Structure 1
Amino acid sequence: MTQRAYARIAPKWWPANAGGALVIPRHHVENLYEIPQVDGHAVWDLTQRVAAAMRSTYGCEGVSTRQHNEPAGGQDVWHLHVHVLPRYQNDDLYQRHLEARWVPADERRPFADLLRTSLQLPTSFS
Structure 2
Amino acid sequence: MNFQQNCPYCNFTEDPNQHILFENDTCYFLQHERHQGVLEGSGIIIPKSHRENTFELTKEEWNDTYELMQQVQEYLKKKYSPDGFTLGWNVGEASNQSIQHSHFHIIPRYNDEPYAGKGLRHWIKKPENKRPQLKD
Query: Pairwise CA RMSD of aligned residues?
Result: 2.3
**Pairing 1:15-94 to 2, within 5 Å after superposition:** 16-91=38-113, 92=115
Which residue of the other structure, out of 27, 30, 40, is the alignment partner of 1:8? 30
Deviation at 1:67, TM superposition (A): 0.9
Relative contact order higher in (CA < 8 Å, ≥ 6 apart): 1
Question: Normalised by the size of structure 2, how large is the TM-score?
Answer: 0.61
Residues 91-125 of structure 1 show CA distances to partners (whole Å, capped at 9, x for unaligned) of 21659xxxxxxxxxxxxxxxxxxxxxxxxxxxxxx
Q: Distance in 1 between matches of 2:49 and 2:36?
A: 28
Q: Distance in 1 between matches of 2:51 and 2:88?
A: 17
Q: Which runs of 5+ in 1 are unaligned?
A: 96-126
Q: 1:85 to 1:70 in 2, by over 3 A?
A: same
Residues 25-82 of structure 1 show CA distances to partners (whole Å, capped at 9, x for unaligned) of 1111011111111111111221222122101211211222121100112211110111
Question: Normalised by the size of structure 1, how large is the TM-score?
Answer: 0.65
State whether residues 61 and 88 of structure 1, in contact with CA within 8 Å, keep that contact through their aligned partners in structure 2. yes
Deviation at 1:17, TM superposition (A): 2.7
The structure in which a higher percent of residues are helix is 1
State whether residues 55 and 62 of structure 1, in contact with CA within 8 Å, keep that contact through their aligned partners in structure 2. no
Q: Which amino acid aligns with 1:38?
A: E
Give every structure 1 segment of 4 or more consecutive aligned residues whose post-TM-superposition deviation is greater than 3 Å: none
Q: Which runs of 5+ in 2 are unaligned?
A: 1-22, 120-136
Q: Distance in 1 between matches of 2:88 and 2:33?
A: 15
Deviation at 1:12, TM superposition (A): 4.7
State whether residues 54 and 103 of structure 2, in contact with CA within 8 Å, keep that contact through their aligned partners in structure 1. no
